[in-house]
Amino acid sequence: MAGGSCVRDRTPVAALARSKHTIERLLLAKSSIDKSRESSVWVRADASFIYVNDAACEAFGYTHDEFSEMHVWDLDANVTEVDFRRIRELVERRGHIILRTQVRLRDGGAIPAEVGISHVNIRNEGFQCAVIHDLSELRETEKRLQDCEERERRTLDLGSGERRYPFIAAVVRDRRSRA
């Protein structure tokens, strides 16, 4: 009866069931992106935004309507129109890249960001899908760590540091000799 199942699969009811299943999967995927805490954008070949999730609007301060009037170079402080074409070609060749850049905020500020960009073809039209991760907290943590290390180095480099903290000075000397 294998042949009979093939005939049933071609019926309008079966096609409708497949379409319904496809639509449900697409809605699930879209809902996941909409509700994600990471900023996600979809970009056309002309660098205009075709889709922006709520997290991107919230993080960068623009409305969905404002994004619809913008181009990538309006958001990315390090990208010009020429740069966009080069990046797009690179993403098309590789399929995916990760960049570090500065994202312009609506209030005039900027934040450091890591951007993962993927290329997707849909009905012979190429799109760039980008997930933008705010690196502000990471940069703050790195700065605090550098400040602590600098204070430690200055404390131990003082002439009296070795006399006041001989054990710590010995540990630091040992660490430096291994590096």
Tens-digit pLDDT profile for residues 106-157: 999 999 999 999 999 989 899 999 999 999 887 787 778 787 778 777 766 6
Helix (H, G, I), strand (E, B) or coil at 122: strand
37-134 topology per CATH: Beta-Lactamase (3.30.450)
Distance CA 15, CA 17 (A): 5
Q: What is the dihedral of CA 138, 110, 100, 52, to 10 degrees?
A: 100
User: 3-28 pLDDT, tens per residue?
Assistant: 444 445 667 767 767 777 778 887 78
Distance CA 25, CA 28 (A): 5
pTM above 0.85, yes or no: no
pLDDT at 179: 67
Residue partners of 34: CB distance under 8 A and separation at least 6: 53, 54
Q: How is the chain split into domains, by residue range?
A: 1-35, 37-134, 139-178
